[in-house]
Structure 1
């Protein structure tokens, strides 16, 4: 099975083109490929391009636990770079259909930077949006957190704190992700506001765990920060892996811009696919 591997600020994905497969991509295959000890290792699989009736391309996104994600900001930037590397796009805007909605993408800087229009952010996990973020509370291991919901095509739980660190995300992220109130689980962001133009976040990603960076998490955290009046509409989001820029208009349409780097191309041996 042929693959290409990329990372966006340390958030790594494997791209598998459906035309290169001789069999279906099973749950067991996804888990084996993403495993960092028995497989190639990644934060997920980008399965595409597939045909779309509404867009230039369609993309399916799988988490390491084989669950299917609606959308991934870093995944979309990586997929856009892959399309550019395959000479399927140039530097003109193109559209990609995901389970979490349609996005528009532009590849720049000789493939090293990609901008993605992530769509309008909703302050809810439901299909009907809320006009502004509403505070709610959750108690985890004796700690009470105030959180805000956001939907970027996938669900997010945004928590503001005076200080954030990886230990916070690793200790509380999994419990919050799987809390029964979040019927489809949730991504979790722990956020520190630095100034009007920058925030710092630590991320627990649904189906993947602790990650160095996330485009959709950056979008969700920046949108809530702006809606609450904590930041302006042009926000640099600092993560362990680096910085993503989020720009928001008056309707909270979010445009994300950040770097992408290619790691390698290769083949997955059939014996590795069956190792788990």
Structure 2
């Protein structure tokens, strides 16, 4: 059976939406890797499968381009919400992910805002291999860690341009301290309401942006006392806004756009 998809991006953070409501989930780890191949497939940072759900407008399951699964993806969540709102002429939908029920809304400017749930900062929730203070990890550079449904490790640096993300990122991603590996952020604080962020994404490399990484970076910055409760996050691909009051859920707001829609060729499906 042909597999239809929508390719979208959020400030260049690209993802694919597969709508499998009223049908079985067609995605396997092998197929996710085939689809994620930027030379022989579609190419994406993440893939979101939209499924039927009894207690929400839909349920989302996320995949990385390397065929691994993940529990949260802010960009693809907002992209799926955008499509569902357009098809139903609504300005709000509720989506179920591993993070629970997430409310998504369209703002007056057309951007999509999502309640990403409460961050987790306990060592076993992230998870880390050992019990410790997660606001200052025992690694060179003194990063902080939290979870937004996936692990995040944040370094605060003076000069972002001097950081070799492609070298440091994979080393930290695979450090034994992180049994499930981790996303790695490098943050330059411009002022208390504005940061510049570069990312090494677990299972994906260096993206132009990442919704959940923006959230994790801001959460760790607020925990360190470096940031206010509403922060403009400037990534390589563009800007999003992250809000967190220090206790409740994190809100991620920014634009999403569709690039193209298509049908996956049988050669890819059956390879």
**TM score, norm. by length of structure 1:** 0.88
Superposed counterparts of 1:13-162, under 5 Å: 13-19=15-21, 24-48=26-50, 50-85=51-86, 87-88=87-88, 90-91=90-91, 93-109=92-108, 112-127=110-125, 133-138=134-139, 144-162=140-158
Structure 2 SS opposite 1:120 = coil
Superposed counterparts of 1:174-193, under 5 Å: 174-193=170-189
Distance 1:228 1:19, change over 3 A: closer
Out of 200, 204, 215, the position equivalent to 1:208 is: 204
CA deviations 1:118-143 (Å, max 9, x no partner) are: 1111223533999x8520132xxxxx
Task: Point out the more displaced range, 27-36 or 163-172.
Answer: 163-172
The answer (yes or no) to whether the contact 1:223–1:252 under 8 Å persists in 2 is no
Distance 1:272 1:109, change over 3 A: farther
RMSD after superposition = 2.3
Distance 1:105 1:125 in 2: 29
Corresponding residue for residue 221 of structure 2: 225
Higher strand share: 1
The answer (yes or no) to whether the contact 1:192–1:199 under 8 Å persists in 2 is yes
Distance 1:22 1:216 in 2: 27
The answer (yes or no) to whether the contact 1:125–1:156 under 8 Å persists in 2 is no
Distance 1:65 1:271 in 2: 19
Structure 1, gaps ≥5 residues long: 139-143
Tell me how far 1:101 sits from its aligned partner. 2.8
**TM score, norm. by length of structure 2:** 0.90
The answer (yes or no) to whether the contact 1:32–1:274 under 8 Å persists in 2 is no
Runs of 4+, deviation exceeding 6 Å: 20-23
Tell me how far 1:146 sits from its aligned partner. 1.2
Tell me how far 1:117 sits from its aligned partner. 0.7
Task: Point out the more displaced range, 233-242 or 100-109.
Answer: 100-109
Count of aligned positions: 265
The answer (yes or no) to whether the contact 2:85–2:93 under 8 Å persists in 1 is no
